[in-house]
């Protein structure tokens, strides 16, 4: 399973990339607002750090506007993927951008039928938002399971990207289900490396190493 960083913070993305475990990046208007920088400039910088897919989100509500924004984003770098929302207009834009050879990530997906339509519209990636479903007491991972089943049934090649990840258990469940990608906030990315027993183990080994007789 690929792991993407869900962030528009260049310093976080650099740190994640240095580990060799960052396969791509997802951004959205809220994340760029947090970063407090120009969107296009930031995307350009992110694309120079991470060679995998970097999602850039459109903000138009009509297909023409989304296509126009998407074409402009696609000129920033080869690895840009254009995000459009799961709406009727979004699906029109998805088909038009896909026909032009621009890869599309259909975002804000909360039902398996929406994911089916995204795949039928030629999406490169579909983004079910598990955390926001959990927030309203609907198990987000059940949605991922349903999408995986439907995509397998019909051999859709659209990649399932588990989004709105809140904790390492979401990542584990995504991997067990066989999702293609999980996009994770940097704080969750860091947690994936850690286990308290690893720290205890390192401490003990170092303490014992100090007691080993060494040749001068």
Residues binding ligand E4P (CB under 6 A): 6, 26, 28, 30, 107, 127, 129, 131-132, 163-164, 183
* Sequence-separated (6 or more) residues with CB below 8 Å from residue 57: 27, 28, 29, 83, 107
Look up residue 202 and give its two tokens. 């390192």
Rounded least distance, CB 173 to ligand E4P, Å? 15
Nearer to ligand E4P (CB atom), residue 26 or residue 79: 26
Active-site residues: which are they? 83
In the bound complex, what is the minimum distance in angstroms from residue 208's beta carbon to ligand E4P?
A: 43
Tokens of 138: 């609907």
Nearer to ligand E4P, 84 or 200 (CB): 84
Burial class (CB in 10 A: 0-12, 13-18, 19+), 199: exposed
> Shortest distance, CB of residue 19 to ligand E4P, whole angstroms?
20
Q: Which lies closer to ligand E4P via its Cβ, residue 74 or residue 183? A: 183
Q: How far is the CB of 32 from ligand E4P (least distance, A)?
A: 11
Q: How many helices (H) and strands (E) does the chain have?
A: 11, 8
φ and ψ of 127, to 5 deg: -115, 90
| Max Cα distance, the chain (Å) | 75
Residue among 86 and 116 whose Cβ is closer to ligand E4P: 86
Between the alpha carbon of residue 106 and those of residues 4, 77, 82, 99, 163, the distances in Å are 16, 19, 8, 15, 11
The token pair at 38 is 């120009």
């Amino acid at each position: 399973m690929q792991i993407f960083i869900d962030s528009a913070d260049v310093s976080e993305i650099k740190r994640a990339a240095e580990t060799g475990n960052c396969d791509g990046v997802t951004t959205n208007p809220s994340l760029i607002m947090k970063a407090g920088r120009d969107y296009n400039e930031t995307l350009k910088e992110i694309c120079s750090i991470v060679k995998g897919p970097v999602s850039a989100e459109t903000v138009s509500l009509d297909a023409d506007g989304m296509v126009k924004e998407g074409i402009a984003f696609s000129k920033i770098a080869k690895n840009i993927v254009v995000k459009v929302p799961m709406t009727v207009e979004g699906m029109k834009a998805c088909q038009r951008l896909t026909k032009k050879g621009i890869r599309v990530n259909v975002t804000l997906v909360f039902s398996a039928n929406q994911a089916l339509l995204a795949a039928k519209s030629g999406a490169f990636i579909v983004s079910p938002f598990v955390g926001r479903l959990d927030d309203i007491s609907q198990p987000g991972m059940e949605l991922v399971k349903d999408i995986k089943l439907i995509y397998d049934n019909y051999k859709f090649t659209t990649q399932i990207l588990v989004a709105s990840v809140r904790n390492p258990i979401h990542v584990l469940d995504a991997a067990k289900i066989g999702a293609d990608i999980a996009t994770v906030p940097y704080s969750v990315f860091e947690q994936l490396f850690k286990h308290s027993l690893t720290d205890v183990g390192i401490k003990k080994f170092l303490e014992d190493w100090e007691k080993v007789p060494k040749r001068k």
